Amino acid sequence: MLVLITDGFFEWEDRDGEQFGLDRLESAIRDHAELPPQEIIGAMHAAILAFTSGTPQADDLTAVIIKRVS
């Protein structure tokens, strides 16, 4: 699986200014790796929204996931 994302995902901050970060993003991807790409992206976004509790995002969010089909 190849995951290409912009920094808007992991730099999104919560109300205290803490960024979502790469570790949380990696966990969200690994936890849903068996899903189709569009659902992995949705799970990443849902995890970020839960972490940030509604803080506005000031950066772009772009993600492309490519999975090998066996």
Q: Tens of pLDDT along 43-68?
A: 999 999 999 998 998 899 999 999 98
Contacts of 30 (CB under 8 A, 6+ apart): none
Please tell me the predicted confidence (pLDDT) of residue 70.
Answer: 78
**Collapsed DSSP state (helix, strand, coil) of residue 57:** coil
User: Given pLDDT bands bounded at 50, 70 and 90, which one contains residue 6?
Assistant: very high
Whether the per-residue pLDDT at 69 is higher than 90: the answer is no
The C-alpha R_g of the chain, in whole angstroms, comes to 12
Domain boundaries, given as residue ranges, for the chain:
2-66
